[in-house]
Amino acid sequence: MTRVFSGMQPSGDPHLGNLLGAWVNWVSMQQDRECVYCVVDLHAITSPTEHDPASLAERTVGLATGMLAVGVDPQRSILFVQSHLPEHAECTWLFNCVAGFGELRKMPQFKEKSAGKGDSVSVGLFDYPVLQAADILLYHADEVPVGDDQRHHIELARDIGQRFNHRYAAPEDPVFPLPKAVHPPAAARVMDLQEPTVKMSKSASSEKGIISVLDEPKRIEKKIKSAVTDSAGDIRHDREGKPGVSNLLEILAAATGRQVASLASEYDGGGYGAFKLAVAEAVIELLRPIQARYAELAADPGEVHRVLEDGADRARAVAVPTLERAKAAMGLLPPR
């Protein structure tokens, strides 16, 4: 069976973009794939300005709870916390001795996040893609569902795996199968409500632009009613000319299961007020069962921890033999 690996950082409250852009696919992939899902908390500590030690553990549990609430099934998938398996960090060191400085320096996200920071940039931010390669390759993942902005990281993981195999393994018996990036269609490409030309993000400049999965109905309605549109008044899908309206149309389509064109035809001419109210009501209904399930899980945190512990045990059963084989291939002396 095809094995999938995917992870998400506990760097902020899960939002509508996470749900419609990733989690709906995570849930559907469980039907015909062996899925390994991870809360990648080690990735969340690479930037001192974004890392809050006081809240990281709480955010980690909250993100795992959200994954369970939307339908990640621990009976069918492995769900665990990255830092609970030291194999990830150890495998990263092995890969550091295979990866090249030049290829890491060219990674688009490193260049973007390090711009203007000079020598204060952490080595962790620079090395982030190597840890990501370890996350993926430890589990012999066949597929990694990613957005287009992450394809460079999957290409690097393939390059590292291929280089490792070439140096340390026989051609007919590679240590690491090479994964491929897959781009499953998102339910919606959710953009910031206040800046509809950029993706909804936990690091957005304005909290008003983000709909949290746990936002109360009145808060959701207020945010959508204040979403940036334009002065033209017509409702049609045009990403270039009408990014705000197009974003709301796509959200409404994802929340209701209807086609964008049909919704645009239905609401055009009725004014932005009625249109935004319809979007708000649809999002509130979409999130209602998720929020109810989240509340149930949050009331019994011991169960969430139990799921994560069980997931770590199952992940360890795959990661440990993989790491041991990699260390042996590199000639490291095994303990007695």
Task: Cite the residue boundaries of each domain of the chain with CATH code 3.40.50.620.
Answer: 3-182+301-329
Q: Is 225 a catalytic residue?
A: no
pLDDT digits (tens, 9 = 90+) for 254-291: 999 999 999 999 999 899 999 999 999 999 999 999 99
CA 72/CA 68 separation, integer angstroms: 5
Sign of CA dihedral 305, 308, 310, 312: negative
pLDDT digits (tens, 9 = 90+) for 34-77: 999 999 999 999 887 677 888 999 999 999 999 999 999 999 99
Q: Which residues contact 23 (CB under 8 A, 6 or more apart)?
A: 14, 66, 67, 70, 71, 72
Are 284 and 217 in contact, with CB atoms under 8 Å apart?
yes
| Catalytic member of 106, 111, 202, 208 | 202
Question: For position 115, what pLDDT does the model report?
Answer: 67
Give the confidence band of 187 by pLDDT, cuts at 50, 70, 90.
Answer: confident
| Catalytic member of 111, 113, 180, 242 | 113
Position 146, amino acid: V
Mean pLDDT of 321-336: 96
CA 180/CA 158 separation, integer angstroms: 8
Q: Extract the tokens encoding 161.
A: 């795996």
Are 122 and 131 in contact, with CB atoms under 8 Å apart?
no
How buried is residue 82: exposed, middle or buried, by Cβ count under 10 Å (0-12/13-18/19+)?
Answer: buried
Mean pLDDT of 202-221: 88
Place of tokens 């746990």: 214
Task: Cite the residue boundaries of each domain of the chain with CATH code 1.10.240.10.
Answer: 207-296
Q: Is 113 a catalytic residue?
A: yes
CA 187/CA 237 separation, integer angstroms: 16
pLDDT(294) > 70: yes
What percent of the chain is predicted at pLDDT more than 70? 97
CA 187/CA 206 separation, integer angstroms: 24
pLDDT(325) > 80: yes
| Catalytic member of 106, 111, 117, 199 | 199
Topology adopted by domain 3-182+301-329: Rossmann fold (3.40.50)
- In three-state secondary structure terms, 182 is strand
CA 70/CA 187 separation, integer angstroms: 14
Question: For position 318, what pLDDT does the model report?
Answer: 97
pLDDT(317) > 70: yes
Question: For position 117, what pLDDT does the model report?
Answer: 66
Question: For position 52, what pLDDT does the model report?
Answer: 84
CA 308/CA 304 separation, integer angstroms: 6
Mean pLDDT of 190-210: 86
Long-range contacts of 110-119 (CB under 8 A, 24+ apart): 113/47
pLDDT digits (tens, 9 = 90+) for 71-117: 999 999 999 999 999 999 999 999 999 999 989 888 877 777 766 66
Edge-to-edge strands, sheet with 143-145: 77-81, 34-39, 3-8, 143-145, 180-182
Are 130 and 92 in contact, with CB atoms under 8 Å apart?
yes
Topology adopted by domain 207-296: Tyrosyl-Transfer RNA Synthetase (1.10.240)
pLDDT digits (tens, 9 = 90+) for 114-164: 666 667 788 888 899 999 999 999 999 999 998 777 888 899 999 999 999
Q: What is the DSSP letter of 118?
A: G
Q: Is 276 a catalytic residue?
A: no
Q: Extract the tokens encoding 289.
A: 């069962």
Place of tokens 């999957």: 154
pLDDT(204) > 70: no
Are 130 and 97 in contact, with CB atoms under 8 Å apart?
no
Are 307 and 84 in contact, with CB atoms under 8 Å apart?
no
Element (H, E) at 274: helix 272-298
Mean pLDDT of 191-204: 87
pLDDT(305) > 70: yes
Question: For position 308, what pLDDT does the model report?
Answer: 98
Are 234 and 200 in contact, with CB atoms under 8 Å apart?
no
Are 64 and 296 in contact, with CB atoms under 8 Å apart?
no
Predicted model pTM: 0.92
Residue 178: other Cβ atoms inside 10 A: 18
**Count, residues in the chain:** 336
